[in-house]
Amino acid sequence: MSKILRNTCRTLFKETPTNLKGRKKSSQEWLTRQLKDPYVEKSRLENYRSRSAFKLIEIDDKFKFLRPGNIIIDCGASPGGWTQVAAQRCNADGKDTNSDIGTVVGIDLIRIHPIPGTILLSPMDFTKVSTQEKIQQCLNGKPVDVLMSDMAPNATGVAVLDHERIIDLVVQALRFALQVSRPGGSFLAKIWNGAQMQNLMNELERFYQTVHIVKPPASRKDSAEIYFYCQGFKGLKARPSQ
């Protein structure tokens, strides 16, 4: 096993808000940005729980990996924007009677309010073995088509440390994906830019036919986040007998 796996390493309010007395500068800047963000308003109009839903929509529109009948795991799912998109695109609620019905399992430390047609495990810690066993029980051992990770640690503000911590989460998601994915399956994970990107990419290329680095338009330009989209899971080669 390689080192990285071993160590785990709308615009509805166009004016600038003025009633911000008593708020810290960072809070004011965040609120101003939210009110001016077209994706925030678009998420309200289209009933998505978060603007991040459009990141997944844009990535899937490009690579088309979410399909009717898919079995999908969404790690770091709260508040549920990605889970909503996945459920729609895999026909989890069976509304499209002419298409196969998919399954979506969403997991997060924070409680997720119900989403029609989905299985939600919250509050639960994905990194715990017991949670991963519960996911497999929910799927009755069926192989997974897509494992997605939008997990992120609580940011410390120290870029190097935050990068290492999110890499650790991605590696844990990858380890699980290697156990449960079907051959040809896909893996999508968010990371924050940093020194271990190339090591992670090298690791992903061991297990997937193609690895893409993606920054969808909905991802803010000043954000360090990027996504690795991996397609064509190669499967795990059986180890020789001892």
Would you name the residues annotated as active-site residues?
Answer: 190
- The closest of 102, 112, 103, 106 to 126, measured between CA atoms, is 106
Task: Let me know: does 212 contact 229? Beta carbons within 8 Å.
Answer: yes
CA–CA separation, 92 and 242 (whole Å) = 43
Maximum Cα–Cα distance across the chain = 70
3-state secondary structure of 2: coil
Dihedral pair phi/psi, residue 77, rounded to 5°: -80, -25
- The closest of 121, 80, 87 to 102, measured between CA atoms, is 87
Long-range contacts of 34-43 (CB under 8 A, 24+ apart): 36/11, 38/10, 38/11, 39/218, 40/10, 41/10, 41/11, 41/12, 42/10, 43/81
3-state secondary structure of 184: strand
Helix crossing, 197-207 with 159-180: angle to 10°?
A: 10
1, two tokens: 């096993």
* DSSP 8-state symbol, 13: -
